Amino acid sequence: MKHIKFLSCSLGMLATLTLLPSCNEDYLEQDPLSFYEPSATYKTESGLQAAMAVCDRHLRYHYSSGNANNAPITSDYIFSDMALYGKTDAGATDLQDNLADKIQPTSGLLNNTDGNHIMWIWNERFNGIKYANTVLSYIDDVTELSEETRDCYKGRALFHRALNYYDMVFWFGDLPLVTRIIDRPKQNYKSTKKEAILQMLVHDLEFAVEHVPTQSKCQYYGEVNQEACMHLLIKCYLAVGEYAKAEKMADDLIANHGLELMTESFGTNNPGGCPETWPITRNVIWDLHRPENKIGSFNKECIMGIPNLSEQALLSFTTMRIFSPFWNNGGMKDPAGKQAGMRYARKDTKNYDINSSWVQALGRGIATMRLSFYAQYGLWRGADGAIDRQDLRHNSEVGNWVNMTDITYNNPDSPEWFGKNFMLYHPETGALLCPDTIRSWFDHPLYKFYYNDAVADADMGTNDWQGVRKGSNGNMYLFRLAETYLLRAEAKLYQGRAADAAADVNEVRKRANAATMYTTVNIGDIVNERARELYLEEMRNVELTRVSMCLAHSGVPDEWGNTYSADTWDKQSGTEADGGSYWYQRCVKYNIYNRGYTISSGNAKALNYRIDKRNLFWPIPNEAITANNGAQLAQNYGYDGYDASIPMFDNWEDAVADEKKTE
């Protein structure tokens, strides 16, 4: 029964963790060696285990920083077709609406955690790389290990480094390649081209796939397994144009590792936060996304999960606060002019009504990020224009999806309207009843947002349910088999087999009970299915950028018939409708960026949602460039400081060799 265990840190490991390189504001700074002697700390297997535990736990920071108002994944999604920044009460300079003008290397917005997490992401991902490099730099000094065990540790560390670099190259483009812990400060890094870094990731992950054991042979859930290494390698194969290899590896992962899509209800039956208010008809999609069901032998679809439990130093992830609509906004009125949505504590016996306790059912949303109109509606339209509401991922009848018009007025001071459904407009005058339609009015996938909030559940006096907080089960997915099917579909499409690709997309759609199936697909169909299936699991911006690279190098057209040049897909700027990358075309066609008008909503009187072709990649932060004063890091195209003449490494072996040199 060893596999029902979750990866955690013993007290001995936790003591050792304090000896690891600490988080800091500059990824190039080295930790003072006077505090400890690394060669002694990591000379035993227990020291390596501690370092690996930090790598595994750090995965949680890919999604959440613990900030109750925002999360790193928000910064990824607002640079995409799926979402917009929604916190309309932010100051005019803090609003993440005009990304085209506001995002620059020296912008204070890069380090504004309520606005975005770009600088936070830069620092934390390089910390993740540093933790992996700690294992790789010292493992050969641990003489007690067998060759098999040593290679397993190396493979797992290489996976962690590869995962961080994979996301980073598709956020930031060309990067300094850091592959070891050095014993003196190095401030003369040069950038390495993203294509070269991806080739290194392929090399490293091929080693990991060979030497990391399958989940069936792992001691714990949550430690890196062979299947996760294979899944990430498939993505890297696609990125470097090895489509046949990607397909072959996906074939192996799907057929030979005991994995399968979950097609029936399973695991713990979680009825939601308040079934009297919002009943859930048990279904496989709801069960699949309950945190208590995500990790364990009963879930055949989970390739690798991220344990996030209170006894393992839980990281809060307040999904119901950050991503849900601000439905209880005091400015929202019913037709009688009374506040539409109220939040009452359970001990308020005068006003609390278990049949209309929407704060328990949906959480107290503040909509730092809101779904785009396309994500709510266009994504779900079939060829006939009808919205597919039988798809379990968009189904309000079973309770998975919440339409704003499903919510009912619950203000006891307005008996005429109590219990009737929310309306956007007054039924007689046509007046707008919601003054902030950015933040307070959008439909959403409750099954993705809902977590049992143990803090709120235990407090009869609270009226504030937020999501993962102390005492909660906050388990997350890293990879699921559904994505493997969609990656294989891509590999087939790039090889000219659109009908075969459709079969893989249909496997995911059949499980969701979608109304129609494909006979053939284009890249838009596959990317759309990713959006339906993997919302808030995939890094949407990262994957759209990867697909943009794949289209540019394969020559395959997008859903509009556009083709992209390998020479120019990542070197354009401007806000015109035509041109740019596939990422840009998705942003301007499926989101409201660059529509040429401003929006007044809530406290924001002139929201101007704009995005630039150069925003395909985020700027290299200026403080990283200035800290590296012995050489020049390359800035991304279109940003202040871009210079095409700055030398970069175009193969990873040269970058690694240079890293070993002393100043």
Tens digit of each residue's pLDDT (9 = 90 or more) over 246-268: 999 999 999 999 999 999 999 99
pTM beyond 0.85: yes
3-state secondary structure of 236: helix
Single-letter code of the amino acid located at 567: D
Residue 39 lies in a domain: yes
* CATH number reported for the structural domain that contains residue 285 in this entry: 1.25.40.390
Residue 489 lies in a domain: no
3-state secondary structure of 146: coil
Instruction: Give the span between the Cα atoms of 238 and 220, in whole angstroms.
Output: 30
Instruction: Give the span between the Cα atoms of 428 and 2, in whole angstroms.
Output: 64
Q: What confidence score (pLDDT) does residue 662 get?
A: 56
Tens digit of each residue's pLDDT (9 = 90 or more) over 498-514: 999 999 999 999 999 99
Residue 103 lies in a domain: no
Angle between helix axes 481-494 and 540-554 (nearest 10 degrees) is 20
Residue 279 lies in a domain: yes
Q: In the block, which residue shows the tokens 């596999």?
A: 3
Per the CB < 8 A criterion, the answer to whether 325 and 442 are in contact is yes
Residue 450 lies in a domain: no
**Polymer length in residues for the chain:** 663
Q: What confidence score (pLDDT) does residue 10 get?
A: 28
3-state secondary structure of 608: coil
Q: What confidence score (pLDDT) does residue 148 get?
A: 97
For the chain, percent of residues with pLDDT exceeding 70 = 94
Residue 535 lies in a domain: no
Instruction: Give the span between the Cα atoms of 223 and 214, in whole angstroms.
Output: 11
- Into how many domains does the chain fold? 1
What is the Cβ-side half-sphere exposure of residue 144, based on CA atoms within 13 angstroms? 7
DSSP string, 391-412: SGGG-TTTTSEE-GGGSB---T
Residue 189 lies in a domain: yes
Residue 552 lies in a domain: no
Tens digit of each residue's pLDDT (9 = 90 or more) over 399-440: 999 999 999 999 999 999 999 999 999 999 999 999 999 999
| CB-count burial class (<10 Å; 0-12, 13-18, 19+) for 147 | exposed
Range of the domain at 162: 2-59+119-309
